[in-house]
Chains A and B, each alone.
Chain A
Amino acid sequence: MNMLTTKRALPLLIASALLLISCAPKAEKTADSGEKTVSLAVFVPGVLAGSPTYEMMDEGVRKAAAEKGAEVRTVEGGFNQAEWKPQVLALAAEKKYDLIITSNPSMPEICRDIKKIYPDQEFLVLEGSRIDNDTVATFLFSHLDLSYMLGYFAGLVTSSTELDGSNSDLKVGLIAGQEYPEMMQKIKPGFEQGVKAAAPGGSVDFRVIGNWYDAAKASDLAMGMFDEGVDVILTIAGGANQGVVSAAKDKGRYVLWYDTDGYDIEPGVILGSGIIREDIAAYEQTHLYLEGKLEQGSSVYAGAAEGYVDFIEESELYRTHVPAAIREALTLEADRLRNGSLKLD
């Protein structure tokens, strides 16, 4: 019986295998026809859906590519950071892409490792910091600037008497998906510094969800914090942010958004929003590359002064829901960062 089925199935299997191999793409053909189009790959360490910053990066790259007639392929890597390296490695191994663009503080080290194996592969990493003798191009946003501004705003909100949702406790909250290095080394300290600058004696209640998608747990955490006197929370927890917003809406408290314009998400609840201009950075850097001006190993550090991170003030919703006194105080402090008179470290 077994042998019979084996005999029957084997030719079938072989046939299908042959068929599959014959499907192999004949990629080399285009190379002969004169001019070679530049091929770019965007590697998203996560998923595009629901991650506006990655969407902005993708958008920026595509805009530049469209202008210069380059091809773009976007690949989503999923949430498991352990899988990113093998995936980028596989992209590089294909030797099809002239430049791989990605965005995450952890990507430079991964790309540098891959560069050791494929020295010809070129990389551009947004959100990545430079090291000495770097082999990949990096572009770093100042999270310290941004979190400071949001912290300062949070301090103003919690000490305000004009806002209905603000109480007398000088407590503000910070919810993170996980305790990752960027969070612990830049965002949390910057945020705390900002809070203390606006509201001396203010404190930051920092809590962690454990993942980036458990919105229910995020909501429970936020509820607890609100019950304990927190009146505004900065949430940096991916999809789970939504739970914080729902909790704040229920409790009549406030949420700060971090990296994209978040006012629309829940008007009146999202009281303040930062932005990281990943689209502009991606566009500019890709453009540079396509013009042959991007050097591997180069790096840009972009803070509030350079205009790549900022607190969004020019929103109708912001103006409607935030009292003028707070807005003015924030502008004052933010301008110090914008014009470079205040330097954080």
Chain B
Amino acid sequence: MSDNSKIVLELKNVTQIFAESGVRACHDISMQVQGSEILAVMGENGAGKSTLMFLISGFMEPGRGEILCRGGKNPADLRALVGMVHQKPLLAGDLSVLENIILGPEKGLFRKDVLKEEIAAVQERYNLPLDLHLKAKQLTAPQIQRCELIRALWKNKELLILDEPTASLSTTQSEELFELLLRLKGEGKTVIFISHKIHEVMKVADRIAVIRRGELQGIDAKGNLSPREISRLMIGEDTLPGEEPAAEKRGEIDRTGVPVLELSNLGYSETGTRRLDSINLSLYPGEILGMGGIRENGLTHVEDILCGLEQPDTGFILLNGKNRMPLTPLKLRRSGISYIPADRLKRGAAPESTLAENLSVLKRQAGFGSYRKRLFSWAGQFISDHAIKGEAKQKVKTLSGGNIQKMIVARELENNPPLLIVSEPSWGLDFKSRDRLHSQLVQAREEGIAILLLTTDLDELLSLSDRICVLTEGRLTEIERTEEQWNRYYIGEKMTGADRA
């Protein structure tokens, strides 16, 4: 394996400790990356994978140790070599896709038409359709990813880093992405990607590196590692994460009463395009209604309308049988409804505020005297009850993504809401957190909470939902619970509209 001429990148005892928080993100990591291979980096949330990738991409410089790029240490070389597709969207929202792609340290004028052609050629070649004129802030998560991918390919980067690329993709989209990665490998490029999902890693990676608590646990060819070993290295326990909690056969849900949530003939247009078309659904206590789809195919709009941010053009939203139009976030909350948004750092949490402050919106700290005292003691208890790794007075932005979601979910379930709207709950979660989250949702359902689950994740949809409907080009189709329909392939085709092609 160790053919020196093929080594494109070498890490030597790389250590990174963040000065502000004292967090040791990477500790003494040494590894080599070879030409034309696909290397998967695995680890739990907060294990230090992203930091490692930042170091490799030249975005950060390591505190100690060195990164050799083709034998040299020049960070500029590193940047020229590496193209990174970030997990968090890292684009300038006000710039168009084209402008975001060509943004770089180069100087002078640019010729839009020439560049556009060049980029279009790349898009053509790798089948990555994306309207170059869209503003970046209009893009959905998969489109953002695509935009960065196009840039890396256009720049002819030899080493591509993808930070959790499949987190926000549907199954079909993920499979397309993997095909592309394999093709790139075939063209001699090197790919590093971060993932939690063992099955996809086993499918495409050549080698697998596992990181836990900032330390490299092991790196080896795929064939030499079993899923069980990987999982043990990742979480340090010898337990394989359980298979998805099987959708148990449940007794009939009582659907005779008043539905907790009823959408009737909901329609929505944006800039002349019909985004949602006569959506009808009813949701009853004690069931999880899964709504699958692709974000840009209306799922985002459903979320925005249900959380009160957007007003539909037609139709009604009834909560407990009462018309609550026009719905606002305030009205929604006043009705006791909980909401776990897809955009956690904007809608789900205030990153600049402390954990306690983020929990204070629960309004559970009645009593007299200093609110601060009550809040912090209550929040401290809450945090330890729910095993959130953090302190009450820690700023939320310093927590790992998984812990932020843990906090949000625990908070939203705390009040026993009649209805929970939850969107993409497991984005970016490792499988342990994901399992935990899923059982939390199932338990909430058992307690009689009605849950509307909006997700692009097919496995999640299938394993959690009592009923499933799929949003395709703004229309809603219910999936029958039959052998023929209740499976990932049928739903996947439905989601992408492939069944009608």
Please say whether the chains A and B touch (CB closer than 8 A).
Answer: no
Q: Which residues of A contact B (CB under 8 A)?
A: none
Residues of B within 8 A of A (CB): none
